[in-house]
Structure 1
Amino acid sequence: MTHFVDLNADMGESFGAWTMGDDAALLEIVTSANVACGLHAGDWDVMAKTMQRAVAKGVGIGAHPGFPDLHGFGRQRMTLPLASLQNLVRYQVGAAQAMARAAGGTVRHLKLHGALANMASEDEAMATACYEAALSVAPEIIIMVLAGTAQQRAAQALSCPMACEIFADRAYNDDATLVDRSLPGAVIHDPAKAGQRMAQMVREGAILTESGKRIETRIDTICLHGDTPTAVSIAAEVRRALLENGVGLAQFPGAPL
């Protein structure tokens, strides 16, 4: 096998009596887990259970902070002063660290969620503020960035450990940002299509956009969303397609560029 790539999924997104996604099934497939920190989704019990399962499976744990937006699942854009945004990130990273330690694990990486991530992919100053906040709490944390965007530029400028991410189930704009979920075709539900396009992107070392543009990029990890009806089947097909194309699966090293 000539390439190795990490598979990550957002999880720990259930809340109280409401179940979101099949985390147990995803943890059989992925190598890294981005665990919601209780503000856009999840709660203290869900965090604890998810991290315990991740530790048992040897899956890398990541803090997945988002806006305080349970109603909108963290997908509604919010405007906060950068100092307050930094405290919001620190608050959630700290919660993740505590729950991971109690489960016998550690928080290995950070990945921004939803609208917070999308805004940071467009605004380098915002991305920098978020990453500096996380690093102030966890200096060794690996910053997972949306490849080819302002997130990557911010992490490169900070010279911090970094993992470049592409998405299995999302369509791309020509600037490497994700097509807005409100637009047709933004979310890919066909497992075969998702598997084929991920194998192609990893093989070519490039993001392929909806218009056909090819954006060369480092690819360390592939995101498999956990909250869609086809999440587990897409995850399984992506894993199968990668292995079939000679791509091995391993946690990302997180080295800076």
Structure 2
Amino acid sequence: MIDLNADLGEGFGRWQLTDDDALLTSVTSANIACGFHAGDPLTMRRVCERAAAEGVRIGAQVSYRDLAGFGRRSMDVPAAELAAEVAYQIGALEIFARAAGSRVSYVKPHGALYNRCVRDSEQAAAVVEGIRMAGTALPVLGLPGSELHGAAAAAGLPVVDEAFADRGYRPDGTLVPRTEAGAVLTDPGQVLARSLAIAEGKDVAAVDGGPLRLRARSLCVHGDTPDAARLARRIRDELTGAGITVRAFT
């Protein structure tokens, strides 16, 4: 059994990046942008309503305040400020999730914040403080063995290991930076094969060609990957065809 998640609501005003409606027919968990790297109130409301209608779990995809850089630029934000901004983003999304008859079920950092929290214990602790400040013990979706998961577990928050269908990995199990070759997988056949291997607990190839075992309860396909909606459907069909149940982790 494995969860399939994608980043949704990553538009702003009239500009739309992700095919939210199509993706929501395939994924089981939706990481919805909360306005800091993408998203706006109307988009958040619309995606929450659609997710609730499709029975898809709603997750808050929190990020650095970086609309211009799509949340993918590293930023040095004081811990107290970051915690408050994480709580703010969760609270904003919760309003629209509840209005849609659902709720925020988990939290996943986005982009630069996600990668920073793999090794930066201070930033990871600030994200966890923000989640607790939001008032609920929400599960934290992230990279296995990260500082974020360590801080979350220490605070009594559930942690959910995640792997990426369409990203390259270093031999140590961290993601290849997007500025380097091999960071993003664009061949659908390679993405499908990797997705199945991860779900079956088999090795995948790291960027250097060596074997790498990725443990995961949730598999992510990026909403801004080319033809992401069709790719997500193919991944789900590949998994179910192999006898793997695709179901939300929450």
TM-score range, shorter-chain basis?
over 0.9
Q: Distance in 2 between matches of 1:175 and 1:192?
A: 24
**Deviation (angstroms), 1:70:** 0.9
State the TM-score, normalized to the length of structure 1. Answer: 0.92
- Report what 2:31 is aligned to: 34
1:190 and 1:234 in contact (8 A); partners too = no
Mapping for residues 181-192 of structure 1, pairs under 5 Å: 181-192=178-189
What is the correspondence of 1:65-76 to structure 2 with a 5 Å cutoff? 65-76=62-73
The answer to whether the 8 A contact 1:205-1:219 is kept is: no
Deviations 1:18-51 (A, max 9, x none): 1111000000000000110011101000000000
Q: Shift in Å at residue 234 of structure 1? A: 2.0
Deviation at 1:182, TM superposition (A): 1.5
Moved more, 204-213 or 88-97: 204-213
* Contact 2:88/2:134 (8 A) holds in 1: no
State the superposition RMSD in angstroms: 1.6
1:200-256 superposed Cα distances (whole Å, 9 cap, x missing partner): 122126664222444545411011111122212221221122122221111114xxx
Q: Residues 54, 240 of structure 1: CA spacing in aligned structure 2 closer, same or farther, 3 A cutoff?
A: same
Aligned to 2:13: 16
Q: Percent of aligned pairs with the same residue?
A: 42
Please say if residues 100 and 106 of structure 1, whose CA atoms lie closer than 8 Å, have aligned partners that are also in contact. yes
Equivalent positions of 1:51-200 (< 5 A) are 51-200=48-197
Contact 1:149 1:175 in 2 (8 A): no
Number of residue pairs matched by the alignment:
250
Q: Is the 8 A contact 1:166 1:207 kept in 2?
A: no
Picking from 34, 38, 43, the partner of 2:40 is: 43
Q: d(CA) in 2 for partners of 1:103 and 1:187?
A: 34
Aligned to 2:226: 229
Unaligned runs of 5+ in 1: none
Structure 1: distance between partners of 2:149 and 2:194: 22
Superposed displacement of residue 81, structure 1: 0.9
Letter of the structure 1 residue corresponding to residue 166 of structure 2:
D
TM-score of the superposition, structure 2-length normalised?
0.94
1:176–1:207 contact (8 Å) kept in structure 2: no
